[in-house]
Amino acid sequence: MFKEFREFALKGNVVDMAVGIIVGGAFGATVNTLVSDVMMPPLGLLTGGVDFSNLYVVLKEGAQPGPYAALAKAKAAGAVTLNYGLFLNALVSFAIIAFSAFILVKAVNRLRRKEDAAPAPPSKKTCPYCLTQVPQQATRCPACTSTLD
């Protein structure tokens, strides 16, 4: 059983998939940072200084009554909150990751189409004397025994 597992784990596809998952995780973390630290602050300035990560609705107040200045203070007080600002950040991150994956898949498909577009060399040729199909490498026609070029 261990031998079969080792053969499975060392196949090229499994290793490629593992590398893809690791790179995908790092790419996701990078995009999350891009969204929360680079894109959302200017967007917040355009919308009047709103910090999207601090957009929330208090569903139930905590031990210390509100209003709370920030989401962290509401959580520290034990308030139950609906964090729609964090959801907006996650939605923007998802859109960027999905669009990046779309562009990558589109580029790979374009490369594959170019490779598939090259026609394969013909495997047969026609005997000029009897019009029989013969293999490309044949030097004599099997039907009429004529010499082929």
DSSP per-residue string spanning 29-95 = HHHHHIIIIIIHHHHHHHTTS--GGG--EEEE--SS-S--SSHHHHHHTT-EEE-HHHHHHHHHHHH
What is the residue whose two structure tokens read 């200084």? 49
* Cross-strand partners of 81: 58
pLDDT tens digits, one per residue of 108-127:
888 877 766 667 778 899 99
Tell me how far apart the alpha carbons of residues 126 and 130 are, in angstroms, rounded to a whole number: 8
Look at residue 129 and tell me whether its pLDDT is greater than 70: yes
pLDDT tens digits, one per residue of 9-67:
777 677 778 888 888 888 888 888 888 788 878 877 887 777 778 889 999 998 888 78
Q: What is the reported pTM?
A: 0.55
- pLDDT score, position 115: 66
- Report the chain's C-alpha Rg in angstroms: 32
